[in-house]
Amino acid sequence: MAFTSDLRIKNTIKEVHLAVLAELSKRHINENLYLRIFDESKEDSLNWEEGGLTFKNKLLNLNLGSNDAAWYYIAEGKAIPLVVIEGTFGTERGQFGDGQFNRFSHALGPAKNGFIGVLLIPFKGESYVKVETHETLFDYKFQYAHLRRDIVKAAIKVNKSEPGKYFTIDAYDLGLLKDLVLNSFLKAIKTENQYALICEKIEQKMKEYITGKERGKSNQLLDKVYDSKGDLLKGYTGRLFTHNYAALTTAEKRDAHGLLGKTLIESYLISPKKLLCIFIRLNKKEIGYLSSRTAKEFTYLLNNPELKIVCSEDLIIKDKPAELKLVMMRNQNLLLNSEKGFIKRIKGLFEKGEILVKL
């Protein structure tokens, strides 16, 4: 069996658990701290109350994704989560970009329910990447992959608006994770602890990670959006999405998971504004098909009051060549031909009021 990122994370968590138990024993603390962790992911997908590791957005009654493990204690016959972990070594396995966003919603679930959610990931990982050389067709080199700063920035916003906490912790800073688990348990059993100090330390490390790093200008994030009358839409930030129907449904593509994470991150970053999600390659019929499916990702987007979804048929495009090219792009594989230059042009047309949105 391959030593996967998932298995590696779970083994790492088990090692932290043993270290915490050893510390509790040294302090002669007899109350029980438990770790809920499974070798198979099918148990992870059960809701917390059913013995699993998945948490809901109770307002929408929708799941936010399963986690890898959780420390908990028993109070009045109920399992109370303390620290819930969603972990990955993705930055050491070629996740340089949007692939990291897939994980964001998982640890968000505990935070929205008043608990601590942790994204455990190497902040700076080394991945092998293919490069062309003169000697052979392909060769390999190490390339650094950094934790996306938008994830950390959004997590800090979560901490200001949700009842729980969302922490990002470096997978090579396990002493910090151990201290968080230990002190959250000590606090729960009303024993002297440094819980507040540890939380402050983690948040400070998160802030230091993003200090001086401004967001790059995205070709898909719109500074201005205009309605069908040509009036500036106030209270909204627009974002272009280039997914087509196949990308959100077929087994080999399935981009919906990353779409959910990306959208949630963006909605926290632009708060208190709402996010206008503009799917330039989907029509109303396809939106209808997606809304009738049981896939939680798109269902979550459709039912989130902080978002508004529009599609190609909701657009008034004054530039006819651009309109024609959008039609021709509907089934194009953007992984093979990204059309970044054209998407940048579309962004400009929106911001100049040459593409209007019918709400």
CA distance 184 to 193: 8
In a domain, 43, yes or no: yes
201 occurs within a structural domain: yes
DSSP string, 183-249: HHHHHHTT----HHHHHHHHHHHHHHHHTT-PPP--SSEES--BBTTS-B-TTEEEEEE---HHHHH
Residues 128 and 231 in one domain: no
Nearest-angstrom CA–CA distance, 350 and 267: 20
What is the structure's pLDDT at 126?
83
Peptide bond into 163 cis (omega under 30): no
| Whether 307 contacts 262, CB under 8 Å | no
Question: Rounded to whole angstroms, what are the CA distances from 175 to 39, 152, 172?
Answer: 24, 20, 8
Note whether 162 and 22 are same-domain residues. yes
Residues 119 and 197 in one domain: yes
What residues make up the domain containing 136? 5-210
Q: 307-311 and 274-279 as β-strands: parallel, antiparallel, unpaired? A: parallel
- Do residue 125 and residue 230 come from a single domain? no
Same domain, 35 and 164: yes
Query: Pairing between strand 62-66 and 69-75?
Result: unpaired
Last residue of a domain, one of 145, 175, 210: 210
Q: In terms of domains, do 126 and 228 share one?
A: no
Whether 32 and 121 share a structural domain: yes
What is the spatial distance between Cα 309 and Cα 327, in angstroms, rounded to a whole number? 19
For the chain, the maximum distance between any two Cα atoms, rounded to a whole number of angstroms, is 75
Domain boundary among 210, 243, 272: 210
Whether 196 and 232 map to the same domain: the answer is no
Q: Is residue 137 part of a domain?
A: yes
Candidates 192, 267, 276; CA nearest to 241 is 276
Inside any domain, residue 245: yes
Q: What are the CA-CA distances from residue 242 to residues 57, 195, 308, 343 (Å)? A: 26, 43, 16, 9
Instruction: Output the pLDDT for position 266.
Output: 93
Task: Copy the structure tokens of residue 271.
Answer: 């708060």
DSSP string, 277-326: EEETT--HHHHHHHHHS--HHHHHHHH-TTEEEEEGGGEEE--HHHHHHH
Q: Which CB contacts under 8 angstroms, 24+ apart, belong to 197-202?
A: 199/165, 199/167, 201/176, 202/167, 202/169, 202/176
Residue 126 CA, distance from chain mean position: 21
Q: Total structural domains in the chain?
A: 2
Last residue in a domain, options 210, 229, 254? 210
Please check whether residue 117 lies inside any domain of the structure.
Answer: yes
Per-residue pLDDT tens, the chain, 359 aa: give them: 344 668 899 999 999 999 999 999 999 999 999 999 998 777 888 999 999 999 999 988 889 989 999 999 999 999 999 999 999 998 888 776 677 888 899 999 999 999 999 999 999 988 777 766 655 555 667 788 899 999 999 999 999 999 999 999 999 999 999 999 999 999 999 999 999 999 999 999 999 999 976 666 677 899 899 999 999 999 999 999 998 888 888 654 456 667 888 899 999 999 999 999 999 999 999 999 888 876 677 788 888 888 999 999 999 999 999 999 999 998 888 878 889 899 999 999 999 999 999 98
Whether residue 122 sits in one domain with residue 229: no
Say if 216 falls within a structural domain. no
Residue 145 lies in a domain: yes
Q: Do residues 199 and 275 share a domain?
A: no
Same domain as 205, residue 259: no
Separation between Cα atoms, residue 53 and residue 41, nearest integer Å: 10
Burial class (CB in 10 A: 0-12, 13-18, 19+), 136: exposed
Based on the fold, state whether residues 151 and 65 are members of the same structural domain.
yes
Asked whether residue 215 is assigned to any structural domain, the reply reads no
3-state secondary structure 316-327: EECCHHHHHHHH
Question: SS3 of 273, please?
Answer: coil
